[in-house]
């Protein structure tokens, strides 16, 4: 189990150091949503472009801790190319997983699995949530669950 934790930490650190899809575009066809987490200094903006119910691009910008920035980077990679309904399933299950709520384990969370350990650190749950909450807002205009 310790080895698994180390692997997960390595993936998180790798995304933190080499973030994917970072930098916003000045393009009105993208929807943008920003969420801050004052308790940690996290400040994340997500940008998504949807065409024919498919997420054709997803980008982020922001500052924050390694968990927050890595979760944004992982999110963008998972989201791009997905049907919006599939992306919502993954996002909903990811948010349940990190909140230690019952979730559908048949849904593949892909690389987002690496954040499963966050549930035992209540102070970090928000760090790992805000990028995904902002993402849902850009695609579905849903309000954040507090």
Q: Which residues bind Zn ion (CB under 5 A)?
A: 40, 42, 65, 68, 127
Half-sphere exposure of 21 (CA within 13 A, CB side): 22
Q: Which is nearer to Zn ion, 44 or 55 (CB)?
A: 44
Which residues, in sequence order, are CB contacts of 49 under 8 Å at separation 6+?
27, 29, 30, 31, 55, 56, 57, 58
Least gap, CB of 69 to Zn ion (angstroms):
8
Q: Which is nearer to Zn ion, 80 or 127 (CB)?
A: 127
- CA-to-CA distance for 68 and 97, rounded, in angstroms? 16
- CA-to-CA distance for 36 and 127, rounded, in angstroms? 9
- Assess contact for 113 and 146: CB atoms under 8 A: no
Least gap, CB of 123 to Zn ion (angstroms):
8
Least gap, CB of 26 to Zn ion (angstroms):
27
SS3 34: strand
Q: Which is nearer to Zn ion, 39 or 100 (CB)?
A: 39
Least gap, CB of 33 to Zn ion (angstroms):
18
Q: Which is nearer to Zn ion, 28 or 123 (CB)?
A: 123
């Amino acid at each position: 189990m310790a080895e698994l934790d180390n692997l997960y930490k390595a993936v998180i650190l790798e995304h933190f150091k080499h973030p994917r899809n970072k930098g916003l575009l000045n393009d009105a066809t993208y929807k943008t949503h920003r969420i801050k987490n004052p308790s940690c200094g996290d400040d994340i903006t997500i940008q998504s472009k949807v065409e024919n119910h498919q997420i054709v691009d997803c980008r982020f910008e922001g500052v924050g801790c390694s968990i927050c920035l890595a979760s944004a980077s992982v999110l963008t990679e998972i989201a791009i190319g997905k049907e919006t309904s599939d992306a919502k399933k993954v996002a909903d299950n990811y948010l349940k997983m990190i909140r230690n709520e019952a979730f559908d384990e048949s849904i593949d969370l892909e690389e987002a699995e690496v954040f499963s350990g966050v549930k035992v650190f209540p102070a970090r749950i928000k760090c790992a949530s805000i990028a995904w909450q902002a993402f849902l807002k850009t695609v579905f205009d849903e309000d954040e669950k507090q």
